[in-house]
Amino acid sequence: MLDTGEPAPDFELPDQHGERTSLSDHRGEYVVVYFYPRADTPGCTTEACGFRDNFEAFEAREVPVFGISDDPVDDLASFATKYDLPFRLLSDPDGDVAGAFDSYGEKNMFGNTFDGVFRNTYVVGPDGDVVLAYEGVSPEGHADAILDDLSELDAA
């Protein structure tokens, strides 16, 4: 897990439309970068829909939201369409970006060991440093918690 105050690794990845975006394109803004294991699974859907349902609040704060998984672009496009997700879902098929954010590695599920994405979230500040870090988050209410923490940052 990256610590607050550390520089966030820059990245450039394709979104659900095949358009490339980079973190450095958003320097000067807060950016939510959330990592999730698999599109269209129960926990990931709950988390994504939480961001969708709060999207206007993120937009009002001018805070872009990026969801990153190792799913292919086509799967992200289907997921975004199915749940009307208004933010960018980014495809990191080899887990390189997730790995740079300490959000990719060995997982164990139902007795099987495999490499995959960990459910972690970072808020990157305008200067490119991590200002908030959430490890192993619970999908329910996660977007609300980030908005509350962003309010505290604004008040500081």
Does 78 score more than 90 pLDDT?
Answer: yes
The one catalytic residue in 44, 124, 133, 150 is 44
What CATH superfamily is the domain 12-155?
Glutaredoxin (3.40.30.10)
Please name the amino acid found at residue 29: E
For the beta carbon of residue 36, count every other beta carbon within 10 angstroms.
Answer: 26
What is the percent of the chain where pLDDT is above 90? Answer: 89
What is the percent of the chain where pLDDT is above 70? Answer: 99
* CA-wise closest residue to 20 among 90, 116, 87, 68: 90
- For 155: left if phi > 0, alpha if psi spans -120 to 50, otherwise beta; the answer is alpha
Q: Do 23 and 31 form a contact (C-beta atoms < 8 A)?
A: yes
| Ranges of each domain in the chain | 12-155
49 carries an active-site annotation? no
- 38-57 confidence digits (pLDDT tens): 999 999 999 999 999 999 99
